[in-house]
Amino acid sequence: MWHRIVKSGCRIEARQLATGERLQRCLTLYSVIAWRVFYAIMLARAVPEMPCNVLLDIEEWQALYCAIHHCPTPPEEPPSLDQAVRWIAQLGGFVGRRRRDHPGAETLWRGFQHLTDLTRMYRIMRSAPP
């Protein structure tokens, strides 16, 4: 699954890198990204009731919560890991028609990309004076 994330999600083969050194640097970065997506999938399936702060920084889960619920302030306690991973996948296009459906690597990959932008904006908005 990790290889599929690197190959399909990161689209490593589509990168037109002229040298092996550039490919190595790119692969190093994408390996970390692929590991995080794979870790989120496996952790959410193994221990879904665990709080999401084992995977996400405080600002990441707060930004995620506020974006999904269209509210300005997040709760004090982090949501469960299963719920947070579903929300990330929802950002990436996951519909979850059936309750037993689990988000896949592709929707999580896209969701994490959106979460990065949301977190950046959340940090900017939180640091702005009232």
pLDDT given for residue 130 in this prediction: 62
The total of structural domains in the chain comes to: 1
Q: What pLDDT, in 10s, does the model give residues 22-32?
A: 778 878 887 88
Phi, psi of 51 (to 5 degrees): -65, 150
pLDDT given for residue 126 in this prediction: 86
Question: Which domain covers residue 103, as residue numbers?
Answer: 2-127
More confident position, 14 or 116: 116
**If you average pLDDT over residues 61-71, what whole number do you get?**
95
CATH of the domain at 115: 1.10.740.10
User: 87-91 long-range contacts, Cβ below 8 Å, gap at least 24?
Assistant: 87/111, 88/40, 88/64, 88/112, 88/115, 91/64, 91/67, 91/115, 91/118
